[in-house]
Structures are given as structure tokens and as C-alpha cells.
Amino acid sequence: MTFMSTLDSSIVNIALPVMQRELAATAAGIQWVSTVYLLVCCATVLIFGRMGDTFGKVRLFQAGVALFTAGSALCGLSSTLPALVAARCPIVSAARCHAAWAW
């Protein structure tokens, strides 16, 4: 697990109650913000490892920084729970890019 993954998970878990209140989401609904991160992370770990071998780990790391920035902006602009859950996917991909760089 990389520093970005740990930092992102910590920040999101602390902010979940505030997000739930602001988005008027149920407890079951807001859990998808964290769950989608784990699902996409597990589903793409092998893909991004192979991409790091194919395209180069430095290039993949740089793409991950750009993707993380874009995903963070999308999360910040999300005004509904489904939009927030969907915006988390680029952040997971960015974390996988960084994990591939660390291998």
C-alpha cells in the first residue's frame, strides 16, 4: 500500500459523516464511497502492474499524479452521492499507478 492510498483512505473515512450529512445519504449509501475504492483497487492491481512494465514506471507515476488531481477535482465538485462514487474511480486508478511505480 502506498502513501497516497493510506492518506486517501484516512481522509475519506474521517470525512464520511460530513459527506453523509451534506449529501443527505443513507449509511448504506455513503459506504459505497469507501467500498468502490477497494473494489476498483483489487480489480486493477494486475492491470496497472503490467502497464508499469510496458510503459515505464516513471511515466505511469506521472500519469497517476495527473489522474489523482483530476479525480480529486471531480470529487470536490460532486453534488450527489452517485457522482461522488463515480469520481472516486480515477483516484483509485491513480493510486494503482503509484503502487506500480513503487514495485
pLDDT single digits (tens) 19-56: 999 999 999 999 999 898 888 888 888 888 888 889 88
What average pLDDT does the chain have?
A: 86
**What total number of domains does the chain contain?**
1
Q: What pLDDT score was predicted for residue 81?
A: 95
C-alpha Rg value of the chain to the nearest Å: 14
Residue 101's pLDDT is 59
CA dist., res. 44 & res. 67, Å (int): 15
Q: How does residue 94 score in pLDDT terms, banded at 50, 70 and 90?
A: confident
Give the range of the structural domain holding residue 20, as residue numbers without chain letter: 3-102
